[in-house]
Amino acid sequence: MTLYAGTIVDTPGDPFTGDPGDALAEVGALLVREGVIRARGSFAALRAEHPDEPVTRLDGGLLVPGFVDTHVHFPQIRAIGGLGMPLLDWLERCALPEESKLADRAYAREVAGEFFDGLIASGTTSALVFGSHFVPAMNELFAAADHRGLNITSGLVLSDRILRPDLLNSPETALTDSADLILRWHDRGRLRYAVTPRFSLSASDEMLDVCAQLLGKGVWFTSHINENVAEIAQVAGLFPGARHYLDTYLRHGLVTERSVLAHNVHPDDAELAVLAERGASVSHCPTSNCALGSGLFPLRRHIEHGVRVALGSDVGAGAGLFLPKEALQAYFIQQLLGPDGLPLTPAHLLYLMTRGGARALGLDDRIGDFAVGKDFDAVWLRPAAGSTLAVNLKHACDTTDALARIFALATPADVAGVWIRGVSDQAPR
């Protein structure tokens, strides 16, 4: 067992349904055995009960739960920074040419390594990962995630129209290839499978029927929705009988509590009502929405309808893997919305990138906060001495204030340690 001592902060409450001040909790120590949290409390109390256990001191900064990224594209790790284009141009010019390269298995293996190294260095220990269009690349991704012990849900990306030809698969091969991957990887260690049509723009009704068949295997579902007005207009043209974008998934039975849909920047009220009723989640990707000019996310309408929301980096359209940056951008967007925005406190931001993500992924019985019985996935944010963040933490008046300064200033350089189910991936400096 190990006793971790420091300023340990999590959000056992839900700041969106209760008082944000009550959502945040702070303790001085956690007792961890075999990767699982066995006790939490003051250092003095836990030390008195367990005087012989080794102590790891995390002096300075904050220890928070490992981050949960609910929307990130692994084949785009080498394609970040393509600014100045709306969604459909960006896909054609930046993202899809890079995604084609993952047909080469050795290339995909390198990319998977770079992707997970980047996630861990950014403090992300769990993710719903948008996969590749190629089966060998998916095998490389799952093997790399398994090796690192990360909590990863992912799946083969399915498309049978509109995209460049080398990225298309037929509904028949989509069914057999996905079924094989599910058999091999779903529920193996911390891995799970997600059926992943790219978006209904590039997936016919036949392909979406295949997705429904695969969901019968108890796996997850993810895709994109309502990201960009030109995309939404094209989808409406392709599905003349659909009431709205969500209906293109709904009428195939693809909207359930195991569904996570990315973006939803332009939903109508009927879609929000269905998402809430079905218990589906939305992944909000703030820097991507800003970089592509997609729009300002209507968080208040989601929350008022009772839709579950979490954060996604949406790399490569997003501006990096570091979720505190996404949280800060989410805060900015709500400020810019004026009276239509939902003012976010540091408790909201921490919740969105930890416990909110765990709930969206149905993993909140295992991760997302430091409750006794949960896995010890943790990030130690401690800036280098003399940095502007270190100066600000020194002058923070309480933990909420310290968190606000972290959201304003932290970068991956401030990640001083990451624990994945109790195993330290990066030696504390």
Contacts with Zn ion, residue ranges (CB under 5 A): 262, 314
Residue 343 DSSP one-character state? -
- Nearest approach in angstroms of CB 280 to Zn ion is 16
Alpha helices in 306-345 (DSSP H): 323-336
At 23, the amino acid letter reads: A
- Nearest approach in angstroms of CB 76 to Zn ion is 8
- Nearest approach in angstroms of CB 196 to Zn ion is 10
Residue closer to Zn ion (CB basis): 221 or 380: 221
Closest residue to Zn ion, based on beta-carbon distance:
314
- Nearest approach in angstroms of CB 311 to Zn ion is 13
Residue closer to Zn ion (CB basis): 314 or 414: 314
Is residue 425 within 8 A of residue 120, CB to CB? The reply is yes
User: DSSP string of 23-39?
Assistant: H-EEEEEEEEETTEEEE
How remote is the C-alpha of 340 from its chain's centroid? 25
- Nearest approach in angstroms of CB 227 to Zn ion is 8
- Nearest approach in angstroms of CB 264 to Zn ion is 12
Residue closer to Zn ion (CB basis): 314 or 326: 314
- Nearest approach in angstroms of CB 294 to Zn ion is 11
Residue closer to Zn ion (CB basis): 79 or 404: 79
- Nearest approach in angstroms of CB 327 to Zn ion is 18
Structure tokens at 319: 């501006």
Task: Give CA–CA dist 98/73, Å, rounded.
Answer: 11
Residue closer to Zn ion (CB basis): 30 or 95: 95
Residue closer to Zn ion (CB basis): 314 or 377: 314
How remote is the C-alpha of 128 from its chain's centroid? 6
User: DSSP string of 79-90?
Assistant: -TT--S--HHHH
At 385, the amino acid letter reads: A
Is residue 285 within 8 A of residue 318, CB to CB? The reply is yes
Task: Give CA–CA dist 347/260, Å, rounded.
Answer: 23
Residue 17, classed as helix, strand or coil, is coil
Beta bridge partners of 4: 30, 56
Residue closer to Zn ion (CB basis): 330 or 389: 330
Residues contacting 54, CB < 8 A, separation 6+: 1, 2, 3
Residue closer to Zn ion (CB basis): 37 or 225: 225
- Which residue's structure tokens are 């990319």? 111
